[in-house]
């Protein structure tokens, strides 16, 4: 029986600190683990040995600062995680392991604004198909990360604004998908998850404050303050896409006029350029043309 402050509970806490550090970074040397966790080199060495014997981590020879070192990463067999991304015009699912390896990924067009039931049904089918094609045992799936194109109420887990996704009114996305897949589902706004991804693995590594701005079929932002996602009291802190710029502007899907999204999202930008650049113009091509100096 564990008691607070006992050697057993302390050891478990240290194990979790090491696993968390490796999971967040992808791979670390033992010296880097010691620095990031504040544990002694001897403690880290013993924990890494224990985790390796249990199949949780893999240790490979490497070099650091010209010296031989050992790189520690989570084992590919330690567990499988699934990412589900709902966009306004697409559904994307990715299957990966805890060693930060994407094993399979697939996307398909979907009008997620119309019906939550249709979206979750398609997501369930796509997840099951990817699990089957990769040959993964469903028992190895330990959780799902779900991104949705709208604000999430932190307390209730429901959409914080029914005007942004009217077909999702009253829906708890986490509970809905967890009931279909039988594993824990963690949900957040897609821009918040984008900010978290940059903070951990991308351009935001090593910083404490950042703004991630997402411009695609919708527009939003994720804010990180002091290393944590900032959602605001109603979970809508990053919803810049529906700030009104012109009260007489185009009607937005949220019901207002002249939102930022109606001037910058793909569905509004492309029609401005298609008459001069062709009807098959895509946003990927627009970005390429802009980088090449195209005046339009």
Q: Which of 70-74, 110-114, 258-262, 288-292 has the lowest mean pLDDT?
A: 110-114
pLDDT band at 63 (very low <50, low <70, confident <90, very high): confident
In this structure, what token pair is assigned to residue 295?
Answer: 């005046």
pLDDT greater than 80 at residue 113: no
For the beta sheet containing 27-29, the strands, ordered from the edge strand earlier in sequence to the opposite edge, are: 27-29, 67-74, 57-64
* Closest-CA residue to 224 (of 245, 254, 203): 203
Q: Which of 150-154, 179-183, 197-201 has the lowest mean pLDDT?
A: 150-154
Pairing verdict, β 67-74 and 27-29 = antiparallel
Which helix (H) or strand (E) element contains residue 271?
helix 266-277
Q: Which numeric CATH code is attached to 80-195?
A: 3.30.420.40
pLDDT band at 206 (very low <50, low <70, confident <90, very high): confident
Q: What is the mean pLDDT of residues 167-172?
A: 81
7-74, CATH topology level: Arc Repressor Mutant, subunit A (1.10.10)
Euclidean distance between CA atoms 288 and 152, whole angstroms: 34
Q: What is the mean pLDDT of residues 128-148?
A: 92
Count Cβ atoms below 10 Å from residue 113 Cβ, excluding itself.
Answer: 20
Number of residues that this document lists for the chain:
296
Which residues have a Cβ under 8 Å from the Cβ of 135 and sit 6 or more positions away?
none
Q: What is the mean pLDDT of the chain?
A: 88
What are the boundaries of each domain within the chain? 7-74, 80-195
For the chain, the distance separating the N- and C-terminal CA atoms, rounded to the nearest angstrom, is 70
SS (H, E, C) 203-216: CCCCCCCEEEEEEC
* Residue 88, CA distances (Å) to 91, 94, 203 in order: 8, 18, 25
């Amino acid at each position: 029986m564990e008691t607070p402050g006992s050697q057993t509970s302390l050891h478990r806490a240290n194990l979790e600190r090491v696993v968390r550090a490796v999971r967040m970074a992808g791979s670390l040397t033992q010296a880097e683990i010691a620095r990031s966790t504040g544990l002694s080199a001897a403690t880290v060495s013993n924990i890494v040995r224990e985790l390796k014997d249990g199949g949780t981590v893999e240790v490979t020879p490497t070099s650091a600062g010209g010296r031989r070192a050992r790189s520690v990463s989570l084992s590919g067999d330690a567990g499988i995680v699934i990412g589900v991304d709902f966009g306004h015009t697409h559904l994307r699912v990715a299957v990966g392991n805890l060693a930060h390896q994407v094993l399979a990924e697939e996307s398909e067009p979907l009008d997620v604004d119309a019906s939550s039931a249709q979206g979750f049904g398609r997501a369930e089918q796509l997840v099951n198909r990817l699990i089957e094609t990769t040959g993964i045992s469903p028992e190895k799936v330990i959780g799902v990360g779900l991104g949705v194109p709208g604000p999430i109420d932190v307390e209730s887990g429901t959409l914080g604004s029914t005007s942004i996704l009217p077909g999702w009114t009253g829906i708890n996305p986490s509970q809905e998908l967890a009931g279909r897949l039988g594993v824990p589902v963690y949900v957040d706004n897609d821009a918040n998850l984008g900010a978290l991804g940059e903070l951990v693995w991308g351009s935001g590594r090593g910083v404490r404050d950042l703004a991630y701005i997402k411009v695609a079929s919708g527009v939003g932002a994720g804010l990180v303050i002091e290393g944590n996602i900032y959602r605001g009291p109603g979970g809508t802190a990053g919803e810049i896409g529906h700030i009104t710029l012109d009260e007489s502007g185009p009607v937005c899907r949220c019901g207002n006029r002249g939102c930022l999204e109606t001037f910058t999202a793909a569905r509004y930008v492309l029609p401005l350029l298609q008459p001069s650049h062709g009807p098959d113009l895509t946003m990927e091509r627009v970005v390429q043309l802009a980088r090449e100096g195209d005046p339009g």
